[in-house]
Structure 1
Amino acid sequence: MLKYNPRHYLPSSEELPDSDDTPVDNQLQHLIPGLLEAILALVWANRMDWFFGVDMGVYYDPEEPAVVPDGFLSLGVERVFDENLRLSYVFWEENHTPPIMVLEVVSQTRRGEYTKKKKLYAELDVLFYVVYNPQRRRKSPLEVYRLVDGEYVLLPQENPVWLPEIGLGIGRERGNYQGITREWLYWYDEQGQRLLTPEERILQAEQRARDVEQKAERLAEKLRELGIDPNSLN
């Protein structure tokens, strides 16, 4: 765990830059963690003890610049501070709670995902480090590491990979999100069933509504065949 002098002045999130002004290398680095966040917002809609950040600065030491993961999940923190939400994730404003999981999406321009960032996240006591490299062909594009005695250990490359402290699994699967069909990262339950995306839930609800309407139309037709006006039953 990184140390700093608590007697030093600790700036608030309002005083710290909310970005490192480094643009993401490609659209996937925004969409992939954004999809994971959107699924959690539905599954954990009634929970207020979690936070998922996307391309947000994480301040762990007032004397160091923020690290900006593509995505990260923290448990045991307030989901919402106030109506302005979080500007950044600042350790000393979060009771020194590190993210339980960090996600990095590797692009053509590597940014230390396998080296310096991996080392830093271990020093910050991030329990799970997830690296997704969609360009990999010979090795699995999804690697999930668990922190053991200060070092990251690669977990068995199952799909999905179960994360017991989170109560969810993470895995990859081909699907459609925002009209884009490709491989995405998803959350899974303990039985290995993929959790639905917001778009899929809407389509599912619309299909159920159509099914109910069709059943009602068939019933009305049968009543007419029997000489009964269905409108007279209202």
Structure 2
Amino acid sequence: MTAIITPDYQITWEKLPDDYKLPDDPVDNINQPFLAAALTESLELAGKLPASALTTTNYGICATLNGKTVVKAPDWAYIPQIKVSREEVIRSYTPQLEGDIPVIVMEFLSDPEGSEYSIKFTYPPGKWFFYESILKVPNYAIFEPDSGGLEVYVLDQDTGRYNLHTPNENQRYWIEEMNLYLGVWQGTRENRTGNWLRWWDESGQLLLWGSELVEQERQRVEQERQRAEQERQRAEQEQQRAEQERQRAEQERQRAERLAAQLRAAGIEPQD
């Protein structure tokens, strides 16, 4: 990225005015709600979404620049802690005033004009400029669902600019503030087969969705059933072997009695 000349904005954190008309645009792509919901669900089921945290989907995040309200709605964002009740952030969220700055915002690339990369700093500012220079979000992810391309940018505390993050050997990006890896996974969920953003913990374990946990439990129950069936068969075989041994012993006893009877008939008293 080229250097960004930042104008002298006076940034204040004010609640969105009640009469402010939020854009009522539909989502850019039918896949966006599914991608966002999947990110939140796995965090919640893994116990990594505290009650004080907030995830947003196409939801307005506000700042006031030189007295003018700016609202951007990232496709997904994670806010570690809000300081107000959830009822107070129904329409929008204002960092600093109502809680923490998001630690990551995501845009699912769909705009052919590339607004996700806009460094426009005149009012109203572009998304990139807003996240980098106004909100100062530590991590900015741009995901292209069709190709599976993922770019993660990390805010350089010295320069105040985003630098392209380097993935690990598994092509996953470490999000330090969440203690999680973010990466691309291919598969099916809710009748959509394609590329998904997924979380992995520090040991490399995938954070599962509800459907995967259900399937995992089904497999565990099936394995338990198979083990129980194998144990039943083993016990049955053991019982059959014991019965065969009892029958063999009985046959041996009867043979000994017949032999003793034959010896007595011949005038021979059998030895014990």
Q: Which residue of 2 aligns with 1:203?
A: 215
Alignment partners' CA distance in 2, 1:4 and 1:58: 14
Say if 2:75 and 2:108, in contact at 8 Å, map to a contact too: yes
In the TM superposition, what whole-angstrom CA distance separates every residue of 1:28-78 from its partner, at most 9, and x where no partner exists?
222112111111111235722321111111122273142111000111335
2:213 matches 1:190: no
The farther-off stretch of 53-62 and 142-151 is 53-62
Q: How far off its partner does 1:201 sit?
A: 1.2
Q: Which residue of 2 aligns with 1:165?
A: 177
Mark the CA change 1:46 to 1:157 in structure 2 (over 3 Å): closer, same or farther: closer
Say if 2:55 and 2:78, in contact at 8 Å, map to a contact too: yes
Counterparts of 1:91-106 in structure 2 under 5 Å? 91=95, 93-95=97-99, 97-106=100-109
* Structure 2 counterpart of 1:121, from 111, 128, 131: 131
Q: Which amino acid aligns with 2:176?
A: P
2:26 matches 1:23: yes
Q: Which residue of 2 aligns with 1:131?
A: 142
Secondary structure of 2:177 counterpart: coil
Q: Which runs of 4+ in 1 moved over 3 A?
A: 1-6, 10-13, 16-19, 82-87, 108-111, 224-228
Say if 2:15 and 2:97, in contact at 8 Å, map to a contact too: no
Q: How far off its partner does 1:99 sit?
A: 0.8
Q: Which amino acid aligns with 1:118?
A: W
2:151 matches 1:143: yes
Alignment partners' CA distance in 2, 1:199 and 1:69: 26
* Structure 2 counterpart of 1:70, from 72, 75, 83: 75
Say if 2:32 and 2:108, in contact at 8 Å, map to a contact too: yes
Mark the CA change 1:11 to 1:193 in structure 2 (over 3 Å): closer, same or farther: closer
Q: Which amino acid aligns with 1:146?
A: V
Q: How far off its partner does 1:175 sit?
A: 1.8
2:39 matches 1:39: no
Alignment partners' CA distance in 2, 1:225 and 1:83: 64
Alignment partners' CA distance in 2, 1:157 and 1:207: 33
RMSD: 2.9
> Which one has a larger percent helix, Structure 1 or Structure 2?
2
Q: Which residue of 2 aligns with 1:231?
A: none
In the TM superposition, what whole-angstrom CA distance separates every residue of 1:112-164 from its partner, at most 9, and x where no partner exists?
1011211110121111000012345xxx7110001112211111244101111
Q: Which amino acid aligns with 2:35?
A: I
For structure 2, the 5+ residue unaligned runs are 1-7, 119-125, 241-272
Mark the CA change 1:170 to 1:2 in structure 2 (over 3 Å): closer, same or farther: farther
Mark the CA change 1:142 to 1:2 in structure 2 (over 3 Å): closer, same or farther: farther
For structure 1, the 5+ residue unaligned runs are 229-234
Q: How far off its partner does 1:5 sit?
A: 5.3
TM-score (norm 1): 0.80
Q: How far off its partner does 1:180 sit?
A: 2.1
Alignment partners' CA distance in 2, 1:101 and 1:2: 23
Say if 2:15 and 2:94, in contact at 8 Å, map to a contact too: no
Alignment partners' CA distance in 2, 1:16 and 1:43: 39
Larger radius of gyration: 2
Secondary structure of 2:235 counterpart: helix
